[in-house]
Amino acid sequence: MTTDAPRKTSSKPPRSRAREFAVQALYQHLVGRQDAESIDQFTRGLSGFHKADSVHYDALLHGCIRESAQLDELILPLLDRKLAEISPIEHAVMWIGAYEMLHAPDVPWRVVLNECIELAKEFGGTDGHKYVNGVLNGLAPQLRPAEVDADRASGKAR
């Protein structure tokens, strides 16, 4: 008998877990218009939160809500539809990606991209991850030009 699924879940890095809780919290903000503090209190009580990087979660939740207008301004030109037509999950994931590209220089842009694609696959619609990939791939050269150029020069960038 294999235990691949539970092992995979239990071996997720604390930052990946932080992103998972953040996307759920941001969804609550986008859909329910709840304030960050209420969402934060609720989320911290969820099963498994103790395994998440709470500092990174805090930065994502509070930073994305605080900078939501700026993040939307970055995302909007890359959309092929109105922001209101974007799934709240994909919207939250794009916020996380844009926020990390802006404020987490210790996380390589490709890691940000891959983590966000995985979040969209796990929580979003069937092909939502493809949309998130396209938008964040479009943002990366704007927000991390030196890093993207270095990857392109070495043949790593798509």
pLDDT at residue 158, as a whole number: 52
**DSSP string over 78-118:** G-SS-GGGS-HHHHHHHHHHHHHHHH-TTS-HHHHHHHHHH
pLDDT at residue 4, as a whole number: 41
Contact 141, 95 (CB under 8 A): no
Contact 100, 1 (CB under 8 A): no
pLDDT at residue 118, as a whole number: 94
* Burial class of residue 99, CB neighbours in 10 A (0-12, 13-18, 19+): buried
pLDDT at residue 10, as a whole number: 58
Integer angstrom CA distances of residue 55 from 10, 116, 133, 148: 19, 18, 25, 27
pLDDT at residue 127, as a whole number: 87
Architecture of domain 12-154: Orthogonal Bundle (1.10)
Q: Which residues, 6+ apart, have CB-to-CB distance to 135 below 8 Å? A: 75, 78, 79, 94, 97
Q: What residues of the chain score a pLDDT lower than 50?
A: 1-9
Place of tokens 């926020």: 99
Integer angstrom CA distances of residue 123 from 38, 65, 149, 156: 21, 19, 31, 28
Distance between CA atoms of residues 120 and 133, nearest Å:
9
